[in-house]
Amino acid sequence: EIVLTQSPATLSLSPGERATLSCRASQSIGRYLAWYQQKPGQAPRLLIYDASNRATGIPARFSGSGSGTDFTLTVSSLEPEDFALYYCQQRTNWPTFGQGTRLEIK
């Protein structure tokens, strides 16, 4: 099983700041990584797939990068609605998710 480790567990920032979230895979997964956003009481929403492709309707302030074992989700300038939980996910063998990063308002 491929294990995804996200860091930090919690990130405290203010609106307008830049957020950088990390996801590390236990073995190389190429560029087969996605990022999701989840707000309380809601289903997750796909943000980024194949490491750097934005899903339909996702604002340009969200970007993804990385390959192999190290990946990054960047939010260039935080909006109030961006404070939420974020998960990474890979699909080699079977899908697995990271444990999540909570992005909270400072």
Partner 1 sequence: EVQLVESGGDLVQPGGSLRLSCAASGFRVSGNYMSWVRQAPGKGLEWVSLLYSDETTSYAPSVKGRFTISRDNSENTLYLQLNSLRVEDTAVYYCARMLGGDYFDSWGQGTLVTVSS
Please report whether residue 96 would count as binding partner 1 according to CB under 8 A: yes
Going by the DSSP 8-state scheme, the letter that residue 86 receives in this structure is E
Using the contact rule CB under 8 A, the part of the chain among 8-16, 17-25, 69-77, 89-97 near partner 1 is 89-97
Residues in 16-45 that interact with partner 1 by CB under 8 A: 32, 34, 36, 42-45
Cβ(55)–Cβ(30) below 8 Å: no
Q: What HEC string does 28-70 produce?
A: CCCCCEEEEEECCCCCCEEEEECCCEECCCCCCCEEEEEECCE
| Identity of the residue, 5 or 77, whose beta carbon is nearer to partner 1 in the bound complex | 5
- List interacting residues with partner 1 (CB under 8 A): 32, 34, 36, 42-46, 49-50, 55-56, 87, 89, 91, 94-100
